[in-house]
Structure 1
Amino acid sequence: MGERRAPDGLALIEELINTLDVEAGRDSLARPDELAALSRRAGAPLTAADVPGLRRLREALRAVCLAHAGHRPLPPDRAEVLAGLFADAPLVLHLDGVTGATELRPAPGARPGLPAFTARVAAVVATAEANGTWRRLKACEAETCHWAYYDHSPAGRRRWCSMQTCGARAKMRAYRAKRQAE
């Protein structure tokens, strides 16, 4: 849907959210090959047993992205789901011995599967919040879309995943409504 991908680790979160095509009703987490591809890119082995937890994580992150875009406040139940998943995802601060740079990473010995994947996501969120990019990961306001996208616009006020698709549809609906009202 969107034209450009999110930077750095946020692309992983964008990809997870976009495993559900709301308009078509397709959930690629249900496909073993898609789950394996996500697992490889995340560096965390995922199995079919992890799918229910991944779906909870995905929808909680989508709710955060909708809140980032100003479409609706973050529902308390989604915030609780995310907080619970992140609580089971311990992180450690890694210090580069050469440059002195720090980075949050999943704690060594974390349980494989969903806990390891969630720890990776938590590290990405923490890093993105620290560098100011987290709030630019948004979800399209179109009810039939809710596709995640990274807002590259200078003002950071993008509303749709794509002006050519969802933006054009919304503007056409507004135009028709205005014409009908006249």
Structure 2
Amino acid sequence: MNERAPAPGGLALIEALVNTLDIETGADRLDTPDGRARFDLAPDDLPAARELREALRAACLAHAGHGAVGPSALDALLAGAPLRVAISPSGEAALCPTGPPTLLTRVAEAIAAATADNTWLRLKACEAEDCRWAYYDRSPACRSRWCSMSVCGARAKMRSYRARRADSV
């Protein structure tokens, strides 16, 4: 569905995870062995991965101005990420997992890096209720509303046009 280039850096992982569910068809790539392998998930990991995916989608919707502001499910999930701040010999700081890397720690590291380079808020979810696909907003003003102008944007504009015509008749 998405005609855009993948998100940069670690945001590509988050974008890919959010986009494992096609809301329009209900197809979930996490139900497939290849889909689980992409994120190093065992079948027992699926409930937590799905919860993380939907919390990330909610954050992406909030970035696009379509979600509630306040404490989030994502914040609660990330509080459980076993990470520590490591300082290199040159004094640079980085988040590091305290155990084997998990999907949650990889997501937390990606969010921290994207926050540091001011790209986290550019990861958004499509405004279309039957889509909600994650995409990286590269527009200069950071005001994109749809994952694809030629699909979701065109549908929204056509619905708006038809509504205006119906009101004028």
Residue 63 of structure 2 corresponds to 68
The Cα of 1:83 is off from its aligned counterpart by: 2.9
Q: Runs of at least 4 residues of structure 1 off by over 4 A?
A: none
Specify every segment of 5 or more residues in structure 2 that has no aligned partner in the other structure, as ranges: none
Bigger shift: 6-15 or 88-97?
A: 88-97
Residue 128 of structure 1 corresponds to 114
Residue 25 of structure 2 corresponds to 24
The Cα of 1:72 is off from its aligned counterpart by: 2.4
SS for the counterpart of 2:112 is helix
Specify every segment of 5 or more residues in structure 1 that has no aligned partner in the other structure, as ranges: 40-45
CA contact (8 A) 2:39 2:103 kept: no
Aligned partner of 2:97 among 100, 106, 112:
106
Paired residue type of 1:88: G
The Cα of 1:75 is off from its aligned counterpart by: 7.1
The Cα of 1:32 is off from its aligned counterpart by: 1.4
Q: TM-score, normalised on structure 1?
A: 0.85
Residue 43 of structure 1 corresponds to none
Give the Cα–Cα distance (whole angstroms) in 2 for the partners of residues 122 and 51 of structure 1.
18
Give the Cα–Cα distance (whole angstroms) in 2 for the partners of residues 148 and 33 of structure 1.
20
Q: How many residues were matched structurally?
A: 167
Task: Identify the structure with the greater helix proportion.
Answer: 1
The 5-angstrom pairing of residues 89-168 of structure 1 reads: 89-97=81-89, 100-107=91-98, 109-110=99-100, 116-168=102-154
Instruction: Give the percent of matched residue pairs that are identical in Structure 1 and Structure 2.
Output: 56
Q: TM-score, normalised on structure 2?
A: 0.91
Give the Cα–Cα distance (whole angstroms) in 2 for the partners of residues 139 and 70 of structure 1.
10
